[in-house]
Amino acid sequence: MTKTKVAIIGSGNIGTDLMIKVLRLSKSLEMSVLVGIDPDSDGLARAKRMGVATTHQGIDGLLEMPEWQDIKIVFDATSAKAHLYNWEKVKAFPDKKMIDLTPAAVGPYLVPPVNFDLNMEVSNVNMVTCGGQATIPIVAAVNRVAKVHYGEIVASIASKSAGPGTRANIDEFTETTSKAIEEVGGAEKGKAIIILNPAEPPLVMRDTVFTLSENANQEAIRESIHQMVAEVQKYVPGYQLHQAVQFDEIPETEPVFIEGLGHCHGLKTSVFLKVVGAGHYLPEYAGNLDIMTSAALATGERLLKQTTKV
């Protein structure tokens, strides 16, 4: 089977972990080039040891490499600001697809089990954020049973798993995730909160999802959530419910006030998740990074499969 060649821009934790996933797990993608800007980074050194071509001159260096001609998919694991520059370069090549792991949100938001089919034709897709990948499937699972008025997510990650890129993108994280809760998850109003937990030893990623929806059959919502968890587990085995799904009815006589929506009543659904990393390059507690690289890999493989069908 001929594999499709890919490049990864960003030789930090996320880019390096994604590279290892491509090398170890993918049956359809071939790792061609790892791109960085620090010639002494561990990611570039590791890539060289694994026989992967490298450049420390960023996207401009990649464009000068002979490998560029055969690359069809480019993963961007840098930062929101850097992605804007990288995309300006890549979009000049119509035969390339870009999968953006930053919160830049140049292209449409993509969460594989929710809205992949709506975005297979575009040239640049955005993987939202780690919190978005973990929680938006749950909001969508509730919304397909009962209209979600409000969706709120709290993503708690180990401080040690938040590198310079993650810390530089905190504002973009909250903005991008909130918008994606609405645009992909289906909520009328979305809110996202991220917590960097300094606990030692580091704790695995924990995500809490609250939705306020129309009243509906609770068992149907619970079943929809469990089905969605199973879909995510196909590409993120460490994704799981941490507790049973909980329900609270908010009566019309005792509504809650939600900014932007006013006084609301209905069914409150609370979902508690944890994400344990696969431990390919990153420690298991870094589930927040693992879910991003796993979702990106799944997107690249599925994108290739759909394109081949077409």
Q: Which residues are catalytic?
A: 130
DSSP character string of 221-273: HHHHHHHHHHHHHTT-TTEEESS--EEEEE-TTS-EEETTTEEE-EEEEEEEE
108: helix, coil or strand? Answer: coil
Yes or no: say if 221 and 142 are a contact pair by the CB < 8 Å rule. yes
Q: How far is CA 75 from CA 105, 124, 202, in A?
A: 14, 10, 28
Which token pair is 222?
Answer: 């619970």
Instruction: List all residues 6 or more positions away from 140 whose beta carbon is below 8 Å from its beta carbon.
Output: 111, 114, 184, 185, 186, 228
**Cα(first)–Cα(last) distance of the chain, in Å?**
18
Asked, as a colleague might, if the bond just before 283 is cis with ω within 30 of 0, I would say: no
CA distance 50 to 30: 13
User: Helices (DSSP H) in the chain: which residue ranges?
Assistant: 13-25, 42-49, 58-63, 80-90, 112-115, 130-143, 164-168, 170-183, 218-233, 287-309
By DSSP bridging, strand 29-35 and strand 53-55 are: parallel
Instruction: List all residues 6 or more positions away from 10 whose beta carbon is below 8 Å from its beta carbon.
Output: 35, 36, 43, 75, 76, 77, 78, 101, 165
CB atoms within 10 A of CB 91: 13
Reported residue count of the chain is 310
Question: Which residues partner with 29 through β-bridges?
Answer: 4
Instruction: List all residues 6 or more positions away from 226 whose beta carbon is below 8 Å from its beta carbon.
Output: 241
